[in-house]
Amino acid sequence: MRKIIFASNNKHKLEEVKRIFKLYDVLSLRDIGFDKEIVEDGYSFQENAFIKANAVMEYIKDNPKYNYAVVSDDSGLCVKAINYEPGIMSARYSGGGDAENRKKLLDKLATIQDRTAYFQCYSVVLLPDGNSYVADGKTYGLISKNEIGDNSFGYDCIFWSDKLRKTFGQATPEEKDSVSHRAIAMQKIKDFLDSIDYMANDEEEE
């Protein structure tokens, strides 16, 4: 089976990526023993995605056991009326967790009529031979006035999808995958790996 390393331990992100990469064995940072803090200090989603991928590639470069492609992503919610906040600060918007981030955003929009927004994702794959490929995904919607549906992941329960006509918090995994920013970007990454017939150098398969 083809293997990749996804530069995250986020349960929800891993689930989404594994649904896209159905014929791949997707390893998390925990699976490869990576426990360092990655400082995401880039000025764009793309820069942060490269920072994560490069950190993991540097970690595995001298370990032939993990001679795999490294896939990473950075994504966030951009709300037009407030200068596209929270943007690259989406995960750290309030200094607290998901619930605090949502509250800060809803409070900021309390008196604002224009609630148009989009989710943006940039994904990067670094290959063991040094080559790389970048893909992006975007999906449009509105910020709801209240939380609707499952509130366990990020801003999903306050993002009303234009295409689904419901919040991501109300959507099934399959529905979300059909329109989400991360699924769009990751599908492009998978198509790229498929097109070059990528196969990890796994000794167990030799």
Render pLDDT for 92-122 as a digit per residue (tens, 0 to 9).
Answer: 999 999 999 999 999 999 999 999 999 999 9
| Burial class of 56 by CB neighbour count within 10 A (0 to 12, 13 to 18, 19+) | buried
Name all domains of the chain by residue range, CATH numbers in brackets: 2-205 (3.90.950.10)
Q: What is the mean pLDDT of the chain?
A: 94
The per-residue pLDDT for 200 is 63
| Burial class of 142 by CB neighbour count within 10 A (0 to 12, 13 to 18, 19+) | middle
Q: Tens digits of per-residue pLDDT, 163-188? A: 999 999 999 999 999 999 999 999 99
Mean pLDDT confidence for 141-146: 98
Given the residues 74, 150, 156, 177, select the one marked as catalytic: 74
Q: Which of 129-133, 148-152, 163-167, 200-204 comes out lowest in average pLDDT?
A: 200-204
In percent, the amount of the chain with pLDDT more than 90 equals 89
162 catalytic? Reply is no
For residue 199, pLDDT over 70 is answered with no
Please state, as a whole number, how many other Cβ atoms lie within 10 Å of the Cβ of residue 106. Answer: 17
For residue 204, pLDDT over 80 is answered with no
pTM of the prediction?
Answer: 0.92
For residue 86 the two structure tokens come to 């929270």
**CA atoms of 147 and 101, how far apart (whole Å):** 12
